[in-house]
A and B are shown apart, each in its own frame.
Chain A
Protein backbone atom coordinates (compact mmCIF):
# COMPACT_ATOMS: atom_id res chain seq x y z
CA UNK A 1 0.00 0.00 0.00
CA UNK A 2 1.31 3.41 -1.02
CA UNK A 3 0.26 6.38 1.11
CA UNK A 4 0.90 10.06 0.36
CA UNK A 5 0.77 12.36 3.36
CA UNK A 6 0.38 16.09 2.63
CA UNK A 7 1.44 18.44 5.41
CA UNK A 8 4.58 17.99 7.50
CA UNK A 9 3.39 19.43 10.80
CA UNK A 10 3.12 17.36 13.95
CA UNK A 11 0.29 15.18 12.68
CA UNK A 12 2.02 14.55 9.37
CA UNK A 13 5.30 13.80 11.10
CA UNK A 14 3.94 11.23 13.54
CA UNK A 15 1.69 9.67 10.94
CA UNK A 16 4.61 9.24 8.54
CA UNK A 17 6.78 7.80 11.27
CA UNK A 18 4.09 5.31 12.25
CA UNK A 19 3.37 4.24 8.69
CA UNK A 20 7.07 3.80 7.93
CA UNK A 21 7.60 1.77 11.09
CA UNK A 22 4.83 -0.55 9.87
CA UNK A 23 6.83 -1.04 6.70
CA UNK A 24 4.50 0.89 4.41
CA UNK A 25 5.57 2.95 1.45
CA UNK A 26 5.04 6.62 2.29
CA UNK A 27 5.80 10.00 0.74
CA UNK A 28 5.41 13.06 2.93
CA UNK A 29 4.86 16.32 1.02
CA UNK A 30 5.69 19.59 2.75
CA UNK A 31 6.10 23.03 1.21
CA UNK A 32 8.35 24.78 3.75
CA UNK A 33 12.04 24.25 3.07
CA UNK A 34 13.01 24.47 6.73
CA UNK A 35 10.58 21.78 7.78
CA UNK A 36 11.64 19.60 4.87
CA UNK A 37 15.29 19.76 6.00
CA UNK A 38 14.33 18.56 9.46
CA UNK A 39 11.99 15.87 8.13
CA UNK A 40 14.53 14.64 5.58
CA UNK A 41 17.08 14.13 8.33
CA UNK A 42 14.76 11.49 9.74
CA UNK A 43 12.77 10.15 6.80
CA UNK A 44 15.30 10.56 4.00
CA UNK A 45 13.93 10.34 0.49
CA UNK A 46 10.41 9.74 1.73
CA UNK A 47 10.06 13.52 2.01
CA UNK A 48 9.22 15.73 -0.96
CA UNK A 49 9.53 19.51 -0.99
CA UNK A 50 6.58 21.19 -2.68
CA UNK A 51 3.03 22.45 -2.47
CA UNK A 52 0.86 19.35 -2.24
CA UNK A 53 -1.98 21.23 -3.96
CA UNK A 54 0.06 21.64 -7.16
CA UNK A 55 -0.51 19.03 -9.81
CA UNK A 56 3.18 18.89 -10.75
CA UNK A 57 4.13 18.11 -7.15
CA UNK A 58 1.33 15.58 -6.89
CA UNK A 59 2.63 13.88 -10.04
CA UNK A 60 6.17 13.87 -8.70
CA UNK A 61 4.92 12.28 -5.48
CA UNK A 62 3.42 9.46 -7.55
CA UNK A 63 -0.21 10.35 -6.93
CA UNK A 64 -1.29 8.20 -9.89
CA UNK A 65 -0.34 4.99 -8.15
CA UNK A 66 -1.23 6.03 -4.60
CA UNK A 67 -3.74 3.90 -2.72
CA UNK A 68 -4.50 6.58 -0.20
CA UNK A 69 -3.87 10.30 0.30
CA UNK A 70 -4.00 11.85 3.75
CA UNK A 71 -4.27 15.65 3.90
CA UNK A 72 -3.20 16.93 7.30
CA UNK A 73 -2.15 20.55 6.76
CA UNK A 74 -3.31 23.22 9.19
CA UNK A 75 -5.62 24.73 6.57
CA UNK A 76 -9.00 23.16 5.91
CA UNK A 77 -9.36 24.57 2.40
CA UNK A 78 -5.97 23.11 1.44
CA UNK A 79 -6.97 19.72 2.81
CA UNK A 80 -10.21 19.82 0.83
CA UNK A 81 -8.45 20.72 -2.43
CA UNK A 82 -5.76 18.05 -1.97
CA UNK A 83 -8.43 15.38 -1.52
CA UNK A 84 -10.59 16.61 -4.40
CA UNK A 85 -7.64 16.84 -6.80
CA UNK A 86 -6.37 13.43 -5.70
CA UNK A 87 -9.73 11.86 -6.48
CA UNK A 88 -10.76 13.76 -9.60
CA UNK A 89 -7.43 14.30 -11.28
CA UNK A 90 -5.54 11.20 -10.21
CA UNK A 91 -8.25 8.73 -9.28
CA UNK A 92 -6.80 7.98 -5.85
CA UNK A 93 -9.27 5.50 -4.35
CA UNK A 94 -9.13 6.73 -0.78
CA UNK A 95 -8.77 10.25 0.63
CA UNK A 96 -8.64 11.12 4.30
CA UNK A 97 -8.66 14.73 5.50
CA UNK A 98 -7.90 16.40 8.77
CA UNK A 99 -10.53 18.91 9.84
CA UNK A 100 -8.95 21.78 11.79
CA UNK A 101 -12.07 23.78 12.55
CA UNK A 102 -14.72 21.29 13.73
CA UNK A 103 -17.43 23.58 12.33
CA UNK A 104 -16.08 22.88 8.84
CA UNK A 105 -16.75 19.15 9.05
CA UNK A 106 -20.08 19.43 7.23
CA UNK A 107 -18.36 21.34 4.41
CA UNK A 108 -15.90 18.47 3.90
CA UNK A 109 -18.79 16.05 3.57
CA UNK A 110 -20.75 18.44 1.34
CA UNK A 111 -17.77 18.64 -0.99
CA UNK A 112 -17.44 14.90 -1.26
CA UNK A 113 -14.74 14.09 1.26
CA UNK A 114 -16.19 11.23 3.22
CA UNK A 115 -13.36 10.37 5.52
CA UNK A 116 -12.46 13.14 7.92
CA UNK A 117 -10.66 13.28 11.23
CA UNK A 118 -11.70 16.22 13.37
CA UNK A 119 -8.82 16.13 15.81
CA UNK A 120 -10.00 19.19 17.71
CA UNK A 121 -13.34 17.58 18.41
CA UNK A 122 -11.82 14.25 19.38
CA UNK A 123 -9.34 15.90 21.74
CA UNK A 124 -12.11 18.06 23.18
CA UNK A 125 -14.19 15.01 23.87
CA UNK A 126 -11.21 13.33 25.54
CA UNK A 127 -10.65 16.36 27.76
CA UNK A 128 -14.34 16.55 28.50
CA UNK A 129 -14.16 12.93 29.59
CA UNK A 130 -11.20 13.52 31.81
CA UNK A 131 -12.49 16.68 33.43
CA UNK A 132 -16.18 16.14 33.63
CA UNK A 133 -16.97 12.49 33.99
CA UNK A 134 -15.18 11.12 37.00
CA UNK A 135 -15.28 7.36 36.80
CA UNK A 136 -16.08 7.20 33.10
CA UNK A 137 -13.13 6.18 30.95
CA UNK A 138 -12.97 6.41 27.17
CA UNK A 139 -11.93 3.12 25.54
CA UNK A 140 -12.36 3.98 21.89
CA UNK A 141 -13.82 6.50 19.50
CA UNK A 142 -15.59 5.14 16.44
CA UNK A 143 -17.01 6.80 13.34
CA UNK A 144 -14.58 9.70 13.59
CA UNK A 145 -15.52 10.39 17.19
CA UNK A 146 -19.28 10.32 16.70
CA UNK A 147 -19.59 7.12 18.72
CA UNK A 148 -17.58 6.34 21.84
CA UNK A 149 -17.05 3.22 23.92
CA UNK A 150 -16.65 3.98 27.62
CA UNK A 151 -16.28 2.03 30.82
CA UNK A 152 -17.83 3.04 34.13
CA UNK A 153 -16.92 1.55 37.52
CA UNK A 154 -19.79 1.19 39.95
CA UNK A 155 -19.29 1.72 43.68
CA UNK A 156 -21.67 1.24 46.60
CA UNK A 157 -22.61 4.92 46.24
CA UNK A 158 -23.54 4.61 42.57
CA UNK A 159 -27.26 5.13 41.90
CA UNK A 160 -27.34 2.12 39.59
CA UNK A 161 -25.87 -0.29 42.15
CA UNK A 162 -28.53 -2.76 43.28
CA UNK A 163 -30.92 -1.82 40.45
CA UNK A 164 -32.00 -3.76 37.42
CA UNK A 165 -30.99 -2.53 33.97
CA UNK A 166 -34.65 -2.02 32.97
CA UNK A 167 -35.13 0.36 35.90
CA UNK A 168 -32.29 2.66 34.90
CA UNK A 169 -33.25 5.53 32.64
CA UNK A 170 -30.89 5.76 29.68
CA UNK A 171 -31.24 7.93 26.62
CA UNK A 172 -31.67 6.06 23.33
CA UNK A 173 -28.16 7.02 22.24
CA UNK A 174 -26.62 4.79 24.95
CA UNK A 175 -26.35 1.03 24.90
CA UNK A 176 -24.99 -1.06 27.75
CA UNK A 177 -22.82 -3.55 25.91
CA UNK A 178 -21.34 -5.68 28.67
CA UNK A 179 -20.78 -5.93 32.40
CA UNK A 180 -17.51 -7.11 33.82
CA UNK A 181 -17.99 -8.74 37.23
CA UNK A 182 -15.25 -10.66 39.02
CA UNK A 183 -13.27 -10.97 35.77
CA UNK A 184 -16.26 -12.46 33.97
CA UNK A 185 -18.27 -10.92 31.20
CA UNK A 186 -22.04 -10.73 31.56
CA UNK A 187 -24.34 -9.72 28.75
CA UNK A 188 -26.85 -7.37 30.34
CA UNK A 189 -30.56 -7.98 29.93
CA UNK A 190 -33.40 -5.95 31.43
CA UNK A 191 -33.45 -8.03 34.57
CA UNK A 192 -29.70 -8.02 35.17
CA UNK A 193 -29.04 -6.39 38.52
CA UNK A 194 -26.02 -4.13 38.65
CA UNK A 195 -23.73 -4.41 41.65
CA UNK A 196 -21.08 -2.38 43.37
CA UNK A 197 -17.70 -3.31 41.86
CA UNK A 198 -19.17 -3.91 38.39
CA UNK A 199 -17.49 -2.36 35.38
CA UNK A 200 -20.05 -1.40 32.77
CA UNK A 201 -18.99 -1.12 29.15
CA UNK A 202 -21.29 1.18 27.18
CA UNK A 203 -21.52 2.44 23.61
CA UNK A 204 -22.83 5.99 23.35
CA UNK A 205 -22.98 9.16 21.34
CA UNK A 206 -20.63 11.70 22.95
CA UNK A 207 -23.40 14.14 23.87
CA UNK A 208 -25.24 11.56 25.93
CA UNK A 209 -22.22 10.53 28.00
CA UNK A 210 -23.10 12.85 30.84
CA UNK A 211 -26.59 11.38 31.19
CA UNK A 212 -25.08 7.90 31.08
CA UNK A 213 -22.56 8.80 33.76
CA UNK A 214 -25.20 10.42 35.98
CA UNK A 215 -27.53 7.43 35.68
CA UNK A 216 -24.91 4.81 36.44
CA UNK A 217 -22.32 6.28 38.78
CA UNK A 218 -23.90 9.60 39.74
CA UNK A 219 -22.88 13.18 39.13
CA UNK A 220 -19.50 14.01 40.51
CA UNK A 221 -17.65 17.30 40.75
CA UNK A 222 -14.64 17.62 38.47
CA UNK A 223 -11.27 16.53 39.79
CA UNK A 224 -10.06 20.09 40.02
CA UNK A 225 -13.02 20.93 42.31
Chain B
Protein backbone atom coordinates (compact mmCIF):
# COMPACT_ATOMS: atom_id res chain seq x y z
CA UNK B 1 0.00 0.00 0.00
CA UNK B 2 1.15 3.57 -0.69
CA UNK B 3 0.31 5.99 2.08
CA UNK B 4 0.80 9.75 2.34
CA UNK B 5 0.80 11.14 5.88
CA UNK B 6 0.45 14.89 6.41
CA UNK B 7 1.93 16.08 9.70
CA UNK B 8 5.03 14.59 11.32
CA UNK B 9 4.02 14.94 14.95
CA UNK B 10 3.74 12.04 17.37
CA UNK B 11 0.76 10.43 15.66
CA UNK B 12 1.96 11.03 12.10
CA UNK B 13 5.49 9.78 12.66
CA UNK B 14 4.52 6.76 14.76
CA UNK B 15 1.88 5.74 12.25
CA UNK B 16 4.46 6.09 9.46
CA UNK B 17 6.89 3.91 11.41
CA UNK B 18 4.29 1.17 12.00
CA UNK B 19 3.13 1.13 8.37
CA UNK B 20 6.74 1.16 7.13
CA UNK B 21 7.63 -1.78 9.36
CA UNK B 22 4.68 -3.65 7.89
CA UNK B 23 6.13 -3.17 4.43
CA UNK B 24 4.00 -0.29 3.16
CA UNK B 25 5.46 2.67 1.35
CA UNK B 26 4.95 5.84 3.38
CA UNK B 27 5.70 9.47 2.55
CA UNK B 28 5.42 12.00 5.38
CA UNK B 29 4.84 15.71 4.74
CA UNK B 30 5.60 18.44 7.25
CA UNK B 31 6.30 22.14 6.87
CA UNK B 32 9.05 21.99 9.45
CA UNK B 33 12.34 20.13 8.97
CA UNK B 34 12.79 19.84 12.74
CA UNK B 35 9.67 17.64 12.90
CA UNK B 36 11.49 15.05 10.78
CA UNK B 37 14.63 15.35 12.91
CA UNK B 38 12.65 14.81 16.11
CA UNK B 39 10.83 11.82 14.65
CA UNK B 40 14.12 10.27 13.51
CA UNK B 41 15.55 10.67 17.01
CA UNK B 42 12.49 9.10 18.56
CA UNK B 43 11.84 6.29 16.08
CA UNK B 44 15.09 5.78 14.21
CA UNK B 45 15.99 7.30 10.85
CA UNK B 46 14.08 4.67 8.85
CA UNK B 47 10.71 5.62 10.38
CA UNK B 48 9.56 6.48 6.86
CA UNK B 49 10.70 5.90 3.28
CA UNK B 50 10.18 9.48 2.25
CA UNK B 51 9.94 12.93 3.78
CA UNK B 52 8.66 15.98 1.93
CA UNK B 53 8.96 19.47 3.33
CA UNK B 54 6.13 21.82 2.47
CA UNK B 55 2.60 23.04 3.06
CA UNK B 56 0.02 20.27 2.99
CA UNK B 57 -2.57 22.12 0.97
CA UNK B 58 -0.07 22.86 -1.80
CA UNK B 59 -0.85 20.55 -4.72
CA UNK B 60 2.77 20.45 -5.85
CA UNK B 61 3.86 19.28 -2.39
CA UNK B 62 1.17 16.59 -2.38
CA UNK B 63 2.25 15.43 -5.85
CA UNK B 64 5.85 15.31 -4.73
CA UNK B 65 4.78 13.00 -1.91
CA UNK B 66 3.20 10.70 -4.50
CA UNK B 67 -0.45 11.46 -3.83
CA UNK B 68 -1.38 10.59 -7.40
CA UNK B 69 -0.43 6.95 -6.78
CA UNK B 70 -1.49 6.87 -3.12
CA UNK B 71 -3.99 4.33 -1.80
CA UNK B 72 -4.50 6.30 1.38
CA UNK B 73 -4.07 9.84 2.68
CA UNK B 74 -4.04 10.70 6.38
CA UNK B 75 -3.90 14.27 7.64
CA UNK B 76 -2.78 14.61 11.25
CA UNK B 77 -1.28 18.11 11.56
CA UNK B 78 -2.08 20.11 14.68
CA UNK B 79 -4.46 22.31 12.69
CA UNK B 80 -8.05 21.12 12.22
CA UNK B 81 -8.65 23.31 9.22
CA UNK B 82 -5.43 22.26 7.51
CA UNK B 83 -6.43 18.62 7.99
CA UNK B 84 -9.95 19.23 6.72
CA UNK B 85 -8.86 21.15 3.64
CA UNK B 86 -5.99 18.76 2.78
CA UNK B 87 -8.33 15.77 3.11
CA UNK B 88 -10.83 17.37 0.74
CA UNK B 89 -8.09 18.08 -1.80
CA UNK B 90 -6.91 14.45 -1.57
CA UNK B 91 -10.48 13.29 -2.09
CA UNK B 92 -11.78 15.66 -4.70
CA UNK B 93 -8.69 16.59 -6.69
CA UNK B 94 -6.62 13.40 -6.48
CA UNK B 95 -9.39 10.85 -5.86
CA UNK B 96 -7.39 8.99 -3.22
CA UNK B 97 -9.50 5.93 -2.31
CA UNK B 98 -9.08 6.21 1.45
CA UNK B 99 -8.84 9.58 3.17
CA UNK B 100 -8.78 10.20 6.92
CA UNK B 101 -8.46 13.44 8.84
CA UNK B 102 -7.93 14.09 12.52
CA UNK B 103 -10.16 16.91 13.74
CA UNK B 104 -9.95 17.99 17.39
CA UNK B 105 -13.16 20.02 17.36
CA UNK B 106 -16.06 17.52 17.76
CA UNK B 107 -18.61 19.70 15.98
CA UNK B 108 -16.42 20.36 12.99
CA UNK B 109 -15.53 16.67 12.88
CA UNK B 110 -19.21 15.76 12.79
CA UNK B 111 -20.09 18.43 10.22
CA UNK B 112 -17.43 17.20 7.80
CA UNK B 113 -18.25 13.55 8.46
CA UNK B 114 -21.76 14.36 7.30
CA UNK B 115 -20.27 16.04 4.24
CA UNK B 116 -18.38 12.88 3.32
CA UNK B 117 -14.94 13.40 4.86
CA UNK B 118 -13.94 10.60 7.22
CA UNK B 119 -12.88 12.51 10.31
CA UNK B 120 -11.47 11.09 13.53
CA UNK B 121 -12.16 13.27 16.55
CA UNK B 122 -9.52 12.29 19.08
CA UNK B 123 -11.02 14.74 21.58
CA UNK B 124 -14.26 12.78 21.60
CA UNK B 125 -12.49 9.43 21.83
CA UNK B 126 -10.16 10.32 24.69
CA UNK B 127 -12.84 12.27 26.57
CA UNK B 128 -15.14 9.27 26.35
CA UNK B 129 -12.41 6.90 27.50
CA UNK B 130 -11.48 9.05 30.49
CA UNK B 131 -15.11 9.50 31.38
CA UNK B 132 -15.79 5.76 31.50
CA UNK B 133 -12.47 4.95 33.20
CA UNK B 134 -12.91 7.50 35.96
CA UNK B 135 -16.36 6.10 36.75
CA UNK B 136 -15.23 2.46 36.46
CA UNK B 137 -17.72 1.91 33.69
CA UNK B 138 -17.38 -0.55 30.88
CA UNK B 139 -15.62 0.91 27.82
CA UNK B 140 -17.75 1.60 24.79
CA UNK B 141 -16.94 1.45 21.08
CA UNK B 142 -15.04 4.28 19.39
CA UNK B 143 -18.08 4.95 17.24
CA UNK B 144 -20.17 5.49 20.35
CA UNK B 145 -17.66 7.94 21.83
CA UNK B 146 -17.64 9.91 18.57
CA UNK B 147 -21.43 10.04 18.46
CA UNK B 148 -22.00 10.94 22.12
CA UNK B 149 -19.62 13.88 22.11
CA UNK B 150 -20.75 15.09 18.71
CA UNK B 151 -24.35 15.11 19.92
CA UNK B 152 -23.48 16.86 23.20
CA UNK B 153 -20.40 18.99 22.62
CA UNK B 154 -21.30 21.15 25.62
CA UNK B 155 -20.82 18.12 27.87
CA UNK B 156 -24.49 17.56 28.66
CA UNK B 157 -25.08 13.89 28.03
CA UNK B 158 -28.81 13.29 27.98
CA UNK B 159 -28.81 9.55 27.39
CA UNK B 160 -30.95 7.68 29.88
CA UNK B 161 -28.80 6.70 32.83
CA UNK B 162 -25.98 9.05 31.87
CA UNK B 163 -24.35 11.08 34.60
CA UNK B 164 -25.31 8.64 37.37
**Does B151 sit within 8 A of A, measured CB to CB?**
no
CB-CB nearest in chain A for B85: A77
Q: Is the interface of A mostly helix, strand, loop or mixed?
A: helix
Identify the stretch in A21-29, A104-112, A202-210 within 8 Å (CB) of chain B at 4 or more residues: A104-112
A-B contacts counted at CB < 8 A amount to: 53
Neighbouring A residues of B79 by C-beta, 8 Å: 77
**Does A75 sit within 8 A of B, measured CB to CB?**
yes
Q: Mark B56-75, 1 if CB is under 8 A from A, else 0.
A: 01110000000000000000
Residues from 86 to 113 in A contacting B, C-beta threshold 8 Å: 88-89, 103-104, 107, 110-111
**Does A85 sit within 8 A of B, measured CB to CB?**
yes
Neighbouring A residues of B153 by C-beta, 8 Å: 55-56
Neighbouring B residues of A85 by C-beta, 8 Å: 108, 111
**Does B93 sit within 8 A of A, measured CB to CB?**
yes
Neighbouring A residues of B48 by C-beta, 8 Å: none
Cβ B92 vs Cβ A77 within 8 A: no
Cβ B81 vs Cβ A55 within 8 A: no
Q: Contacts A107-B85, A110-B89, A111-B92 given; indicate if A77 touches B57 (C-beta within 8 A).
A: yes
Cβ A111 vs Cβ B88 within 8 A: yes
Neighbouring A residues of B58 by C-beta, 8 Å: 103
Residues from 77 to 123 in B contacting A, C-beta threshold 8 Å: 79-82, 84-86, 88-89, 92-93, 105, 107-108, 111, 114-115
Tell me, rounded to whole Å, the shortest Cβ–Cβ distance linking A115 to chain B: 17
Q: How far is the CA of A110 from the CA of B87 in the complex (A)?
A: 13
Q: Contacts A77-B85, A107-B89, A111-B85 given; indicate if A55 touches B57 (C-beta within 8 A).
A: no
Tell me, rounded to whole Å, the shortest Cβ–Cβ distance linking B20 to chain A: 28
CB-CB nearest in chain A for B93: A110
Cβ B93 vs Cβ A55 within 8 A: no
Neighbouring B residues of A153 by C-beta, 8 Å: none
Tell me, rounded to whole Å, the shortest Cβ–Cβ distance linking A29 to chain B: 15
**Does A53 sit within 8 A of B, measured CB to CB?**
yes
Interface residue from B57, B105, B108, B115 paired with A107 (Cβ < 8 Å): B57
CB-CB nearest in chain B for A79: B81
Tell me, rounded to whole Å, the shortest Cβ–Cβ distance linking A94 to chain B: 19
Tell me, rounded to whole Å, the shortest Cβ–Cβ distance linking B145 to chain A: 19
Cβ B57 vs Cβ A76 within 8 A: yes
Interface residue from B57, B85, B105, B111 paired with A88 (Cβ < 8 Å): B111
Cβ B57 vs Cβ A81 within 8 A: no
Tell me, rounded to whole Å, the shortest Cβ–Cβ distance linking A63 to chain B: 13
Neighbouring A residues of B59 by C-beta, 8 Å: 107
Interface residue from B84, B89, B92, B93 paired with A81 (Cβ < 8 Å): B84
Q: How far is the CA of A103 from the CA of B115 in the complex (A)?
A: 25
**Does A78 sit within 8 A of B, measured CB to CB?**
yes
Instruction: Report which residue of A75, A85, A88 has the largest number of chain B beta carbons within 10 angstroms of its beta carbon.
Output: A85
Q: How far is the CA of A54 from the CA of B115 in the complex (A)?
A: 17
A selection of 10 A-B contacts at a CB cut-off of 8 Å is A76-B85, A77-B81, A77-B82, A77-B84, A78-B81, A80-B81, A81-B84, A81-B108, A85-B111, A110-B89
Q: A53-B105, A77-B57, A81-B80 are in contact. List 13 more A-B contacts (CB 8 A).
A: A53-B80, A54-B107, A55-B107, A55-B108, A55-B153, A56-B153, A76-B57, A77-B79, A77-B84, A81-B85, A89-B111, A107-B85, A111-B88
For the complex of A and B, the 6 pairs showing the least CB-CB separation, nearest first, are A77-B81, A77-B85, A55-B107, A81-B81, A77-B82, A78-B81
